[in-house]
Structure 1
Amino acid sequence: MTLSFGTAGVRAPLGPGPDRMNDGTVALVATAVARHLRMREPAGSTVIVGGDARHGSAGFVDVAAAVLTAHGLLVVVPGAPVPTPVVAAAVRARGAVAGLMVTASHNPATDNGIKVYGPGGAQIVPPTDSEIEQHLRAAAREGVAVPDAGAPGARVDPTLVDDYVASVVAGLPTPARPPRVALTPVHGVGGEICRRVLAGIGVDDVTLVAEQAYPDPDFPTVDSPNPERPRTTMRLLGVAEEIGADVALALDPDADRCAMGFVGADGRWRMLDGDDTGSLLADHLLTSPLPGSVRTTGNGPGTPVVASTIVSSRLPSLLVPARGGRHVETLTGFKWLVRAGQPLRYAYEEAIGHCVLPEVVADKDGISAAGAWCATVGSGGRSVGEGLDALAEEFGAHLRSNVPLPLEHGSDPAAALRRAADQLVSTGTVTPLDGTAGFRVTIPGARAVIRPSGTEPLLKTYVEAWTPARPSARDRQDAARRLVALADSVAAAVAF
Structure 2
Amino acid sequence: MHIDKQILDKANEWLTPTFDSKTKEEIEKMMTSSPKELEDSFYKNLEFGTGGMRGIMGVGTNRINKYTLGKNTQGLSNYLKKVFAGEALKVAIAYDCRHNSNTLAKVVADVFSANGIQVYLFSDLRPTPELSFAVRHLKCHAGIVLTASHNPPEYNGYKVYWQDGGQLVPPQDSEIIEIIENLQYSDILFEANDSLIEYIDEEIDVAFWNSTIENASFNTPQSAKDALKIVYTSLHGTSIKSIPSVLDLAGYKNVNIVPEQAVPDGNFPTVKSPNPEEPEALTMALALADKIDADIVVGTDPDSDRLGVAVRDLEGNLKLLNGNQTMVIMTAFLLEQWKRADKITGNEFIGSTIVSTPMMLDLASAYGVECKVGLTGFKWIAKFIKDFPKQQFIGGGEESFGYMVGDAVRDKDAVAAILLVCEIATQAKAAGSSLFKELINLSLDYGFYKEHLISITKKGIEGANEIKKMMVDLREHPLKEINGQRVVCIEDYQSSKALDVMSNATYEITIPKSNVLIYYLEDGTKICARPSGTEPKIKFYFSVHTELPSVDDYNATELILDQKITNIIAEMQLT
Same fold, TM exceeding 0.5?
Answer: yes
Aligned counterparts of 1:363 and 1:290: Cα–Cα separation in 2: 25
**Cα distance between partner residues in 2 of 1:449 and 1:130:** 26
Alignment of 1:409-428 (within 5 A): 409=463, 411-421=465-475, 422-427=477-482, 428=487
Asked if residue 138 in structure 1 is aligned to residue 182 in structure 2, the reply is yes
SS at match of 1:106: coil
Q: How does 1:79-158 map to 2 (within 5 A)?
A: 79-140=123-184, 142-144=186-188, 146-147=190-191, 154-158=197-201
State the AA in 2 paired with 1:26: L
C-alpha distance in 2, partners of 1:430/1:240?
45
Q: 1:217 to 1:153 in 2, by over 3 A?
A: farther
Partner residue of 2:437 out of 386, 398, 402 = 386
SS of 2:465's equivalent in the other structure is coil
The one-letter code of the counterpart of 2:78 is R
Change (3 A) 1:262 1:481: closer
Instruction: Report what 2:515 is aligned to.
Output: 437
Answering whether residue 227 of structure 2 is matched by residue 167 of structure 1, we say no
Partners in 2 of 1:54 and 1:469 — Cα distance?
Answer: 44
67-76 vs 397-406, greater mean Cα deviation: 397-406
Aligned equivalents of 1:47, 1:34: Cα separation in 2:
10
RMSD: 2.3
Tell me the CA shift for residue 458 of structure 1: 4.0
How many residues are aligned here? 486
Residue 140 and residue 241 in structure 1: after superposition, are their counterparts in 2 closer, same or farther (change >3 A)?
farther
CA distance in 1, matches of 2:98, 2:299: 18
Q: CA deviation at 1:46?
A: 1.2
Question: Displacement, 1:9?
Answer: 3.1
2 CA distance for matches of 1:406 and 1:20?
Answer: 18
SS of corresponding position for 2:182: helix
Give yes or no for the alignment of 1:369 onto 2:417. Answer: yes
Unaligned runs of 5+ in 2: 1-41, 494-512
SS at match of 1:223: coil
Please point out which of 58, 67, 72 is paired with 1:29: 72
- The residue type paired with residue 273 of structure 2 is S
* Change in CA separation of 1:278 and 1:436 when aligned onto 2, cut-off 3 Å: same
Q: Residues 456 and 192 of structure 1: is their aligned pair in 2 closer, same or farther, counting only changes over 3 Å?
A: closer
Q: Superposition pairs for residues 319-334 of structure 1, below 5 Å? A: 319-334=363-378
* In 1, Cα distance between equivalents of 2:58 and 2:536: 22
Q: Which amino acid aligns with 2:295?
A: D
1:446 to 506, 512, 525: 525
Q: Give the superposition deviation at 1:457.
A: 4.8
* 1:189-208 alignment, distance < 5 Å: 189-208=238-257
SS at 2:520 equivalent: strand
Mapped to 2, the partners of 1:290 and 1:426 lie a distance apart of 42
Residues 1:197 and 1:455: Cα distance change in structure 2 (over 3 Å): closer
* C-alpha contact 2:338 2:344 (8 A) present in aligned 1: no
Report the Cα offset of residue 456 of structure 1. Answer: 4.5
Does the 8 Å contact 2:518/2:528 carry over to 1?
Answer: yes
Deviations 1:97-138 (A, max 9, x none): 000111111111111111100011011101111111122222
Cα distance between partner residues in 2 of 1:240 and 1:405: 31
Structure 2: distance between partners of 1:121 and 1:456: 24
* Partner SS, residue 285 of structure 1: helix
| Aligned-partner Cα distance in 2 for 1:477–1:267 | 18
Aligned partner of 2:97 among 53, 65, 74: 53
**1:92-491 mapped onto 2 (5 Å cutoff):** 92-140=136-184, 142-144=186-188, 146-147=190-191, 154-158=197-201, 159-173=203-217, 174-176=219-221, 177-178=224-225, 179-289=228-338, 295-297=343-345, 300=346, 302=347, 304-340=348-384, 341=388, 342-358=391-407, 360-379=408-427, 380-381=430-431, 382-406=433-457, 409=463, 411-421=465-475, 422-427=477-482, 428-434=487-493, 435-443=513-521, 444-470=523-549, 479-491=561-573
Secondary structure of the 1:378 match is helix
Change (3 A) 1:75 1:180: same
Mapped partners of 2:557, 2:317: distance in 1? 25
How far 1:157 moved relative to its partner?
A: 2.2
Offset of 1:319 from its aligned partner? 2.1
SS state at 2:256 partner: strand
Alignment check: 8 A CA contact 2:55 2:64 kept: yes
> What one-letter code is carried by the residue in structure 2 that aligns with 1:256?
D
- Relative to structure 1, the CA distance from residue 416 to residue 430 in structure 2 (aligned partners, 3 Å threshold; closer, same or farther) is farther
1:39 is paired with a residue whose SS is helix
1:352 Cα deviation after fit: 0.4
CA contact (8 A) 2:448 2:548 kept: yes
Task: Give the whole-Å Cα distance in 2 for the aligned partners of 1:117 and 1:212.
Answer: 29
Runs (5+) with no aligned partner, structure 1: none
Identical amino acids, percent of aligned pairs: 28
> In 1, Cα distance between the equivalents of 2:559 and 2:233?
35
For residues 232 and 290 of structure 1, the distance between their equivalents in structure 2, rounded to whole angstroms, comes to 36
Residues of 2 paired with 1:171 and 1:294: CA distance?
Answer: 17
Supply the AA of the counterpart residue of 2:73.
Answer: A
Moved more, 42-51 or 52-61: 42-51
Residue 329 (structure 1) shift: 1.6
Q: Do 2:71 and 2:185's aligned partners in 1 also have CA atoms closer than 8 Å? A: no
Give the CA deviation at 1:480. 4.4
Q: Counterparts of 1:228 and 1:133 in 2: how far apart (Å)?
A: 31
* Cα distance in 1 between the residues matched to 2:141 and 2:339: 28
Q: Which has the higher helix share?
A: 2
Over alpha carbons, which structure has the higher Rg? 2
Quick check: 2:93–2:121 contact (8 Å CA) kept in 1?
Answer: yes
Contact 1:338 1:344 (C-alpha < 8 Å) held by counterparts: no
Residue equivalent to 2:58 = 15
Alpha-carbon separation, structure 2, partners of 1:136 and 1:242: 53
Q: Say if 1:459 and 1:54 are closer, same or farther in 2 by CA, change over 3 A.
A: closer
Kindly tell me: are residues 192 and 81 of structure 1, through their superposed partners in 2, closer, same or farther at Cα, counting changes over 3 Å? closer
> Is contact 1:399-1:465 (8 Å) kept?
yes
Mark the CA change 1:64 to 1:273 in structure 2 (over 3 Å): closer, same or farther.
same
Mapped contact 2:147–2:303 kept (Cα < 8 A): yes
Give the conservation status (yes or no) of the 8 Å contact 2:355–2:399.
Answer: yes
Distance 1:455 1:222, change over 3 A: same
Change (3 A) 1:7 1:440: closer
C-alpha separation in 1, matches of 2:163 and 2:370: 26
Contact 1:9–1:116 (8 Å) recurs in 2: yes
1:147 to partner: Cα distance? 3.3
TM-score scaled by length of structure 1? 0.92
CA deviation map 1:233-253 (0-9, x unaligned): 000111112222222110111
